[in-house]
Structure 1
């Protein structure tokens, strides 16, 4: 059986719950999420809460791109324009391990963010049962077309060897040394593409 054709389009505000569920399923086994939220019993609940605000901001910025196959959203990616490094994140109100790890991820990735204006591929998620069927490539092709239209390079941090290989196939190259998250966290590989 062949996989259905995958198309891409911007997400709408009415799809936030569906996209949050998609991202929660896609990131449930991802290395950084598993490190930030080590308790599998509460991980999904925390992730739904975390995705709600970031996905809403991405929709408002016309930066949330969906991959759709056979009428179903199978992937989502966030392509945020950036001009320089982001402002330092405020310390979380709670002093708990999850907040500290989230702050660590944000601080360590922001420190490596390029100063030049670029599109930041903040995240890319594909439903686990749809991985390897072209959704990631479809989103990358569409996002890179937008980058060319805006005349902006693209920056990202690859969180797995498989992701890194996908990005390399689309022309990305390593951008400096890996980011090793503290407290025995996973490593992220910054990558860059001049379009």
Structure 2
């Protein structure tokens, strides 16, 4: 049985925000950003909502029809940005002003983000904890990767665990060779995927 996928809109924000909050609550990176579990449960959903609002406004959000999975994508043009990205500071201001890690995570991933070629950036992908392992995430990613292959456009992401990096490898992503090292925290694995072009 195939996964029914559609593009999310503003009316889906609450559904996707709840999914992101639930799926990433115990993620190594989220646990580093918000080490106190009680505090994390209060502000984590707001933090994830900032990512979602960016993707809804500037990119695309694909979701399973039943709301159990979603992927947030941004199209990144070639060339360094003309001005400094204020997103990390905005994330901190909105989600948790007294927590510098809410801003630092964005700055550290931004420093290593490639800009020499245009690409599709998988900002986040979330699958409901009780539906993981069913191929929902792969189906969501494949939807965009097929377009990348057709148009000759690379894709990029940061895996938040070694386990997830292995899953992305199966979809053609490769580790770039330099981890994002969170101070006294986990590593993130930047991964790049060249488009697959048909021959013949």
Moved more, 143-152 or 8-17: 143-152
Contact 1:119 1:152 survives alignment (8 Å): yes
Relative to structure 1, is the Cα distance of residues 88 and 52 closer, same or farther in structure 2, using a 3 angstrom cutoff?
closer
1:105 corresponds to:
105
Q: What is the TM-score normalised by the length of structure 2?
A: 0.84
2:48 corresponds to:
51
Distance in 1 between the 2:62 and 2:154 partners?
17
SS of aligned partner of 1:177: coil
Relative to structure 1, is the Cα distance of residues 56 and 41 closer, same or farther in structure 2, using a 3 angstrom cutoff?
same
Pick one of 67, 70, 76 that aligns with 1:76: 70
Distance in 1 between the 2:74 and 2:146 partners?
14
Distance in 2 between the 1:66 and 1:129 partners?
16
Which string of whole-angstrom CA distances, capped at 9 and with x for unpartnered residues, describes residues 24-59 of structure 1?
000011011111011211213312212333313312
- Which runs of 5 or more structure 2 residues have no equivalent in the other structure? 196-200
- Which runs of 5 or more structure 1 residues have no equivalent in the other structure? none
How many residues in Structure 1 have an aligned counterpart in Structure 2? 186
2:128 corresponds to:
127
Distance in 1 between the 2:146 and 2:161 partners?
24
Offset at 1:191?
0.4
Contact 2:162 2:189 survives alignment (8 Å): no
After the TM superposition, which residues 9-28 of structure 1 pair with which residues of structure 2 at under 5 Å, given as runs? 9-28=6-25
Distance in 2 between the 1:95 and 1:48 partners?
15
Offset at 1:170?
0.4
CA RMSD after TM alignment: 2.0
Q: What is the TM-score normalised by the length of structure 1?
A: 0.86
Offset at 1:61?
3.3
Distance in 1 between the 2:61 and 2:193 partners?
19
